[in-house]
Amino acid sequence: MSSTGLAIAFATGAAGLHALAALGMVARRRWWYPTALTIAASSLHVCALHFGPLTLVQPLGVLSLAFALVLSWALTRRRVTPREWHGMALSMAGLAALLLLAAPTRPRSELSSNQILLLTVAVVALIAAAVAAASRMELRPVRRSLLFALAAGTTFGVSSALTQTVTIRVSDGGATAALQPASAVVLVLAVAGLLLSRRAYRGGLGAPLATATIVNPVTASAIGIGLLGERFTGGPLEVTLSVAAALTAAAGVVLLARGGRTPVTRPTRNERVPVTS
């Protein structure tokens, strides 16, 4: 299997595990198994980033929405609305077309120390702003969840970019290259993203998961194109069709977020999750 095929396979597996972890967070049962699933998904995601560029791997996170929809129906017998089925069809069709049309190049480039510092400061500032706004402003629970989802998606996008840099350095310099500040930043951001996701999913799964799913690849792709020099091959026609496919997938994500009003899972009264202050 080619490196691109391996990247797609690992990213697909990560999306499935991420959907299971998100459902566990919404169910508010034991805290440890969503965390374990998230760690497993992150490991697969690291493998995907080793074999493929950010602009290919990150959009595959859209699959987590489809997995969450199917799994919630299978596990809880939640009724799936026609709008949600339409949204899943659009998002899958757009994603498939994007994978067929877009062939991003992957230069052997990594983020510099100054770029890592800049991204770290920016994402920390965004997290602080989101948490402060959610804590002090009079917001509806859904809007508060969306703020945390926005911060979580951005955090995971930046973390993926840093992870790719770490994997390149380890591949070139051996295991000792993992002992660097960038690795510590990746771990901190991963934990922060997990905590922000847990806070976001308290208001339900649909809109927060959709928000994080959109923001994550947008952030990572912006870093890949703006800082790492990743580019898409093809002429004007391929670029136009790729943009149309991306917009189709985004429209499907919006329909998925707005499609259902019933809870994804039905937690019992005595199920609780630890509250992170």
Q: What's the confidence (pLDDT) of residue 106?
A: 58
> For residues 144-170, b (16+ Cβ closer than 10 Å) or e, as one string?
bbbbbbbbbbbbbbbbbbbbbbbbbbb
Give the per-residue SS3 of the chain: CCHHHHHHHHHHHHHHHHHHHHHHHHHCCCCHHHHHHHHHHHHHHHHHHHHCCHHHHHHHHHHHHHHHHHHHHHHHCCCCCHHHHHHHHHHHHHHHHHHHHCCECCCCCCCCHHHHHHHHHHHHHHHHHHHHHHHHCCCCHHHHHHHHHHHHHHHHHHHHHHHHHHHHHHHHHCHHHHCCHHHHHHHHHHHHHHHHHHHHHHHCCHHHHHHHHHHHHHHHHHHHHHCCCCCECCCHHHHHHHHHHHHHHHHHHHHHHHHCCCCCCCCCCCCCCCCCC
Q: What's the confidence (pLDDT) of residue 107?
A: 57
Structural domain harbouring 176: 53-259
pLDDT tens digit string along 156-203?
Answer: 889 988 988 888 888 887 777 777 888 899 999 988 988 898 888 776
Residue 139 maps to a domain: yes
Q: What's the confidence (pLDDT) of residue 126?
A: 92
* Residue 213: closest CA among 63, 80, 54, 42: 63
pLDDT tens digit string along 98-124?
Answer: 767 665 655 557 888 899 999 999 999
Q: What's the confidence (pLDDT) of residue 28?
A: 58
Residue 277 maps to a domain: no
Q: Please list, in sequence order, all residues whose beta carbon lies within 8 angstroms of the beta carbon of residue 265, skipping any fewer than 6 positions away.
A: 23, 26, 27, 72, 75, 76, 78, 205
In this structure, how many other beta carbons lie within 10 angstroms of the beta carbon of residue 264? 22
In the predicted structure, residue 276 carries a pLDDT above the cut 50: no
Q: How confident is the model at residue 273 (pLDDT cuts 50, 70, 90)?
A: very low
CA distance 183 to 177: 9
Residue 18 maps to a domain: no
Residue 140 maps to a domain: yes
Q: What is the number of domains present in the chain?
A: 1
In the predicted structure, residue 272 carries a pLDDT above the cut 60: no
pTM of the model: 0.72
Q: What's the confidence (pLDDT) of residue 238?
A: 74
In the predicted structure, residue 44 carries a pLDDT above the cut 90: no
Q: What's the confidence (pLDDT) of residue 129?
A: 92
Residue 83 maps to a domain: yes
Average model confidence (pLDDT) across the chain: 77
Q: How confident is the model at residue 267 (pLDDT cuts 50, 70, 90)?
A: very low
Highest mean pLDDT among 7-11, 126-130, 228-232: 126-130
Residue 39 maps to a domain: no
Residue scoring higher pLDDT (67 or 28): 67
Residue 107 maps to a domain: yes
Residue 31 maps to a domain: no
Residue scoring higher pLDDT (272 or 20): 20
Q: What's the confidence (pLDDT) of residue 29?
A: 60
In the predicted structure, residue 61 carries a pLDDT above the cut 70: yes
Please compute the mean of the pLDDT values over residues 69-78 and round it to a whole number: 73
Q: What's the confidence (pLDDT) of residue 122?
A: 94
